[in-house]
Structure 1
């Protein structure tokens, strides 16, 4: 069963949704679901929510990840269980110069460059 909220929003949102609807192959429901899908994974959204958090409460974590694209595309999609998800890729941080931590990107600059060692 799908949750069917009645959403009220400003004319600016209505115009934007209409224009996205006309410019893409997505329907209005998919556009709004996509906005919610991405917002839950967005640092800016989390930052705004933290400014309005109730005392003693904590923000929930989304029960979906980027690989659950069907969640916004299809009305009755069920996300994969968390234990079946692809693990996130983690970059390593190398420790250099006795106690200093420096982020080293995947591609190192050519030798002889002016990078502090």
Structure 2
């Protein structure tokens, strides 16, 4: 189980303080959120499943909890939510594997540089 002490419990006090510190930004964010999660080409359930997956990739515990609840409310099954999480896990792992091409490129360049330096000295 995740150590919740790293993430303070959401309270009305926190919500009020955030609103006091940046009311315009909060209003804009809420409007953006409503626009993104409102009716559109994708149904609410699909949008929430995407949000659950992305929340796992971005590792936002508040987003994971909130969007999992919203996905359930939108009619997503527990199996659908878990499958979305596995898609996120594969994408994260796949990205690490795909980025190995960068390391291979550096190793190739450094290997060629070492060979060139070795040839210069012999």
Structure with higher RCO (Cα < 8 A, 6+ apart): 2
Question: Between Structure 1 and Structure 2, which shows a larger proportion of strand residues?
Answer: 1
Compute the TM-score of the two structures, normalised by the length of structure 2.
Answer: 0.29
Compute the TM-score of the two structures, normalised by the length of structure 1.
Answer: 0.30
